[in-house]
A and B are shown apart, each in its own frame.
Chain A
Amino acid sequence: AQTVTQSQPEMSVQEAETVTLSCTYDTSESDYYLFWYKQPPSRQMILVIRQEAYKQQNATENRFSVNFQKAAKSFSLKISDSQLGDAAMYFCAYRSPLTGNQFYFGTGTSLTVIP
């Protein structure tokens, strides 16, 4: 099974600064999908950003962007101009279209935003 590793259990960032959350994954597949999800204290998991492996261009959604390095199997999330509302758990996820379309999640990074 594919594994997804988030090596930073906790991170903190000053409001308005930039922070990068890391994610690596292990796979032998060439076609797959990657996602970052945010889970605020309200518990609702929200999709932040997605990346298709066949696309070389890094995905961007407003203040959120990714650094996707396929060869290194790395998928980091950069949050620019951090806001208090960005405080949450962030989960990296891998979706395999080959192994039953399952999702594989990392264990999460808890992000604190300091006013």
Chain B
Amino acid sequence: DVKVTQSSRYLVKRTGEKVFLECVQDMDHENMFWYRQDPGLGLRLIYFSYDVKMKEKGDIPEGYSVSREKKERFSLILESASTNQTSMYLCASSLPRGPLAFGQGTRLTVV
């Protein structure tokens, strides 16, 4: 089974901090994604990557950046955390035409 691991389940950060959310997958998937999940809004795509060092903006990239230096790792960076970035963050990976495999999620609270 594909395993997607997010570095933290819960995270509390202060406003203005630079925050790193790490995601690692072990099935050699080309595609990796970062989503944000908020009640009533479903999943919204922040960034995705088709391959190493490639990245594409999703629907809500403002305030975020990503890094994919290795195929198995996709990092989400909050350059300067703000309270409106308090949310659930989901990482996922897939083959080009396959389903998404999700990590367990990181609940980030910015205070």
Bound CA span A47–B50, Å: 21
Minimum CB distance partner of B96 in chain A: A101
CB of B88 within 8 A of CB of A43, answer yes
Q: List CB contacts (< 8 Å) of B66-111 with chain A.
A: 88, 90, 92, 96-97, 99-102, 104-105, 107
Mostly helix, strand, loop or mixed at chain B's interface? strand
How many A-B residue pairs have C-beta atoms within 8 angstroms? Tell me. Answer: 50
CB of A97 within 8 A of CB of B97, answer yes
Given contacts A43-B88, A97-B97, contact A102 B41 (CB under 8 A): no
When distances are taken between beta carbons in the complex, the residues of chain B under 8 Å from A108 are: 42
Chain B, residues 22-61, CB within 8 Å of chain A (1/0): the string is 0000000001010000001111010010100000101000
Given contacts A33-B97, A44-B104, contact A106 B42 (CB under 8 A): yes
Within the complex, the shortest CB–CB distance from A48 to chain B, in Å, comes to 10
When distances are taken between beta carbons in the complex, the residues of chain B under 8 Å from A37 are: 100, 102
Residues of B within 8 A of A (CB): 31, 33, 40-43, 45, 48, 50, 56, 58, 88, 90, 92, 96-97, 99-102, 104-105, 107
Residues of A within 8 A of B (CB): 33, 35, 37, 42-47, 50, 91, 93, 95, 97, 100-103, 105-108
CB-defined A-B contacts under 8 Å, sample of 30? A33-B97, A35-B99, A37-B100, A37-B102, A43-B88, A44-B102, A44-B104, A44-B105, A45-B90, A45-B100, A45-B105, A46-B102, A47-B99, A47-B100, A47-B101, A91-B42, A91-B43, A95-B97, A95-B99, A97-B96, A100-B48, A100-B56, A101-B50, A101-B96, A102-B48, A102-B58, A103-B45, A103-B100, A105-B42, A106-B42
